[in-house]
Structure 1
Amino acid sequence: MSLEWLQRVFGAKVLQFVMILFTYETEEECNTIKDDLKRNPDLKQLLEKCGGRYLTCNKMMNNQSEMRDLMKKIEHLFNENQQQCYTGEMPNTASIRKKKLESSEHQCGHTSEMESNAHLNLILLGKKRAGKSASGNTILGREVFMSKKSSKSVTRDAAVKSGTVNGFPVTVYDTPGFYDPKMGTEEIQKILDKVLLKCESGPCAFLLVIKADSFTEEEIKTVEKIEKLLGEERLNKTWILFTRGDELQEENITINEFINDTEALKKLIQKYDQQFHVLNNKIKGHSDQARLLLVKILQRSFGIK
């Protein structure tokens, strides 16, 4: 997905300047990467697209030998390209070519939803204090939504912020909390309708935010209310997003154990065809958990491998 995005933005020639850097924390992880490179056909295909150029590297980048190897490989890549680097002229040329191609595809009507819109809309839904705003911050890797512990719902209208997850453009919509006594169903419906009008012209996924500490009667009713507002046709693009993953880690409980411990929650996950993800919103900045969420959504909801 990242390589396809690179080519869309910078043109096909960009791949001759790309090298894959596999990072690891332990030697065991490093060995696993090397084993995967031999067995995994997707990784082999990825490397082939990049001319077989790769290096394994400790995440802390404190191994001097690896750093020397990296510098040598970069120098070799530079020489392979006849001592040329990627230049600003290349994306300009690619942009012109892309516009022509998109115009041609539009006329032919063969462009798929995700191909013509290299962008994903994510709509956060749930009861107040479920962690929607904090989840939006985690997904975008920065503090953009107001998030605090309070008896009041922080978001009174839909807040919209855009950014990238591993280079892939996303727009996140943070909606008011359902079952907020100060907001009626009609008011929430109007806000949601406005959001749908803005974002559903492109690829869109709905994230139903639930705290991973209990699944109460109020949460069950919240889910039913959201399902009614969304309509049956949008359920296949709806995901359960669990927050408070940090508490599960502290209690040494897996998300599957938490789900299976509550029959109503177990049935809910089955209903949504196992479309769920868990976030630890205490991890600040860009993190792998947001990337994994995006990959799951693109693969399951839009068929992008």
Structure 2
Amino acid sequence: MQSKRLPSNGHLESHPEQLTVALLGKRAELRNIIGNMILGSNAFDTESHILVVGETSSFKIINTPDFFDEESLHTDQHIIDLMALSHPGPDLFILTIDPENTQEVDVVAQISKLQHTFGERITEHLVVTLPDMESFHSLGHLKEIFDIWLAPDENLASECRNLCSDCDPFLYDYRHYSQDVVTRRKTALETIQKQRCGGDPPCDVGSAGTSAHGVPDNIFNIVLLGLTGTGKSASANTILAVGNTRRGSRQLFRSEPSSMPVTTQCEFRIMEKPFGVLVRLVDTPDFFHDQLENSKAQVEECKKYCQPGHCVVLLVIQLGRFTDAEEGILEKLEDKLGWKIRESTIVLLTHGEGLKKRSLLRFIHESAPLKNIVELCGFRYHLFNNSLKDTKQVINLIKKIPNYNKMFPKLTKNY
């Protein structure tokens, strides 16, 4: 972003349309103050863990939750909602720095976190507000380092309009899910808003001329766990194929035969079809492999998605290749993740083509260790043939999720 100042005559450049601004920062109170200052109203007055929108004819302010909260389970959901509410993207991001985090190392850490979350080019649309003039002067050099705009809190409404006078909206780099997910979410949110307000115009919740509403949060996690070589990534791609009509390589998980871990960190993709709700599909590394770096960090990352009531665990085991390392694997995973995942686990057996015409149930009973794991998981098991991109085998898997009909009502209706 080039440094833009008010023209020398003191008048703003013409930019009459409504501007969309995303508020970011650690403290909800400060985000509320900045948002209300721009809107000239009291649209924001509470701490929220969901996105809240305030609007006037000049501005649409999207007040986000704390993207810096490492314990948040819904960061990607918030990104989808933010992009849906601002489609094709915000005109401007405002990062509010609170008085407790004005040290250079803290500010740099927050900017870097945003680059990691939204992509490097977010800085081209980023305004960083500072709580006092001392910080404004001491951190002035960051403007050149990150190509950002530093601003004190006052006159933000006029500054925002001036900065956006010749800027295109921010475009998110869709790495973990397709843009189709965002456009479908946009339609869903518009429908929710119409139902809530009883018509097309926005409902007035704040002061006169200002509307504000929260964005509901809903996402379900499918987490694949297991040892290297069992077919976790291949199984994830089989599931993903059902949820995406366009199967570009960027959407697939990397999968290839190897004795070394191919998946070295937790990765996810977001899908909606045919479930009718957003589903986060999480592929994980082999937490027990000696060559896995940062194993503890990856387990902590997995814990964010692997939560009681919000996920199903697919314990992936290759048919006919049950190893000594897999004996007791369920208990070992429970020890790492900190809760009895068996209550939400389906044993997913891969390489189903090897079963041929044999009975799967008889095969399980012939292996005492495998039978023990299946029994511990409430005898929930399923067979995948990942060489076949077959919708039916995926739908039948989903139907084995406890209470699936309540979680996926569209699936229940269509299949």
Q: Counterpart in 1 of 2:60?
A: none
**Equivalences for residues 1-305 of structure 1 within 5 A:** 94-98=191-195, 118-141=218-241, 142=247, 144-168=252-276, 169-183=278-292, 187-197=294-304, 200=307, 203-249=310-356, 252-284=357-389, 287-299=391-403
TM-aligned CA deviation for residue 301 of structure 1: 10
TM-aligned CA deviation for residue 254 of structure 1: 2.5
Whether the 8 Å contact between 2:222 and 2:281 is mirrored in structure 1 is yes
* In structure 1, distance between residues paired with 2:366 and 2:220: 33
Q: Secondary structure of the residue that 2:327 maps to in structure 1? A: helix
Q: Counterpart in 2 of 1:53?
A: none
Q: Secondary structure of the residue that 1:297 maps to in structure 2? A: coil
Q: Secondary structure of the residue that 1:258 maps to in structure 2? A: helix
Q: Secondary structure of the residue that 2:401 maps to in structure 1? A: helix
Q: Which amino acid aligns with 1:145?
A: F
* In structure 2, distance between residues paired with 1:210 and 1:138: 15
Whether the 8 Å contact between 2:222 and 2:313 is mirrored in structure 1 is yes
Cα shift readout 1:1-36 (whole Å, capped 9, x = no counterpart): xxxxxxxxxxxxxxxxxxxxxxxxxxxxxxxxxxxx
Structure 2 unaligned residues grouped into runs of 5+:
1-186, 199-215, 242-246
| TM-score (structure 2 length as normaliser) | 0.43
* In structure 2, distance between residues paired with 1:303 and 1:236: 16
Q: Which amino acid aligns with 1:288?
A: K
What percentage of residue pairs aligned between the two structures are identical?
A: 29
* In structure 1, distance between residues paired with 2:309 and 2:368: 35
Structure 1 unaligned residues grouped into runs of 5+:
1-89, 102-115
Whether the 8 Å contact between 1:126 and 1:223 is mirrored in structure 2 is no
* In structure 1, distance between residues paired with 2:405 and 2:336: 20
TM-aligned CA deviation for residue 118 of structure 1: 4.7
Higher relative contact order, chain-length normalized (CA < 8 Å, sep 6+) = 1
Report the aligned-residue RMSD. 3.0
* In structure 1, distance between residues paired with 2:197 and 2:393: 36
Q: Which amino acid aligns with 2:274?
A: N
TM-aligned CA deviation for residue 228 of structure 1: 1.4
Whether the 8 Å contact between 1:121 and 1:171 is mirrored in structure 2 is yes
TM-aligned CA deviation for residue 204 of structure 1: 1.2
* In structure 1, distance between residues paired with 2:263 and 2:189: 40
* In structure 2, distance between residues paired with 1:202 and 1:100: 31
Structure (1 or 2) with the larger CA radius of gyration: 2
Q: Greater helix percent: which structure?
A: 1
Q: How many residue pairs end up in the alignment?
A: 197
| TM-score (structure 1 length as normaliser) | 0.57
Whether the 8 Å contact between 1:215 and 1:265 is mirrored in structure 2 is yes
